[in-house]
Amino acid sequence: MLRKLAIAIAILAGIFAGIFWILTIPKIVSRSELGPHTADLENGRILFHAGGCASCHAIPKQEDKSRLGGGLALPSAFGTFYAPNISPDPTDGIGAWTEAQFVTALKEGTSPSGEHLYPAFPYTSYRQVAVDDLRDLFAYLKTLPAVAGRTPDHQLPFPLGFRRGLGIWKLLFLDGGKFRPDPQKSPAFERGAYLVNGAGHCAECHSPRNVLGAVIAGLRFTGGPNPAGRGWVPNITQQELKDWSEPDIANLLETGETPEGDRVGSSMAEVVRSTTQLPAQDRAAIAAYVKSLPPVEGLKPPRKHEHHEH
């Protein structure tokens, strides 16, 4: 009897393991899916700054933000992640990646080696960016300096180092990933929505997360604990920005100054270093979209964070 029970348990375990393995197969974008394309480097440059790529991937504590050697530590409730080298270095960066592998990383969160990427890399937002825009971004990145040097391995407790389990996380939280324009809105508004929700990945910082690290859908843009580990990121819905005009928001993205004359600090200062490089019409488009966000009351920051820096 015990032998039969053990066999039955082993069979069930094998079935469940097989189902798990199938459900968590990393998805890829093949070269044949991309089609012909002529890279637009200026568009790639704009997307680079819209995404604030240098904020995470530039070598920490150096002024040249085009040297994307990575290494920035990103502490979280799950452990410490390190931003990777995304310079064109063929050994330590993405210089040996194909275009399809780059698109796969940003659309599906899958590495060139076929492993799931941790969502500390916000492919949850980047997957909304059009494929040809990602191809332009890839082409632009390849014009930047190659930087040698490997970044540290992520410091994660067991069993979070088992990447295959991220396939379940993706099943739960990774949506269809296609930006859906609203034909009732103006082209400028739609451009802002596209940049904020896609390349800009604003909700990744300006939203609270659940216990599994996913953005809480009903509280998008309402602020929350700083994903970098210190401070509180503000609510940017009309709950908090009702007295800000669209020009106020656009001006902050250009100068880092609030309507009250204060200056943004912390990680937002790094964001502004990028948004100031955007065309004025893109900053205005972002402002129009942010100003449209309906008021939603978010979580209350702990008392020590009440006087946060924007």
pLDDT digits (tens, 9 = 90+) for 223-271: 998 876 678 899 999 999 999 999 999 999 999 999 998 898 778 888 9
> What is the reported pLDDT for 52?
94
CA separation for the pair 61, 72 (Å, rounded): 9
> What is the reported pLDDT for 261?
87
Q: How many CB atoms lie within 10 A of CB 186?
A: 11
CA separation for the pair 148, 216 (Å, rounded): 38
- pLDDT exceeds 80 at position 306: no
pLDDT band per the 50, 70, 90 thresholds, residue 304 = low
Q: Give how far Cα 147 sits from Cα of 73, 86, 181, Å.
A: 18, 9, 38
Q: What's this model's pTM, rounded to 2 decimal places? A: 0.90
- pLDDT exceeds 90 at position 41: yes
- pLDDT exceeds 90 at position 97: yes
pLDDT band per the 50, 70, 90 thresholds, residue 2 = confident
Give per-residue pLDDT as tens, 194-208.
999 999 999 999 999
Average pLDDT of 297-301? Answer: 87
Top mean pLDDT of 4-8, 152-156, 178-182, 296-300 is at 152-156
Q: Which helix (H) or strand (E) holds 82?
A: strand 79-82
Lowest mean pLDDT among 28-32, 193-197, 269-273, 303-307: 303-307
> What is the reported pLDDT for 283?
97
> What is the reported pLDDT for 109?
96
pLDDT above 70 covers a percentage of the chain that reads: 94
Q: Give how far Cα 187 sits from Cα of 276, 282, 284, Å.
A: 21, 11, 12
Average pLDDT of 264-284? Answer: 92
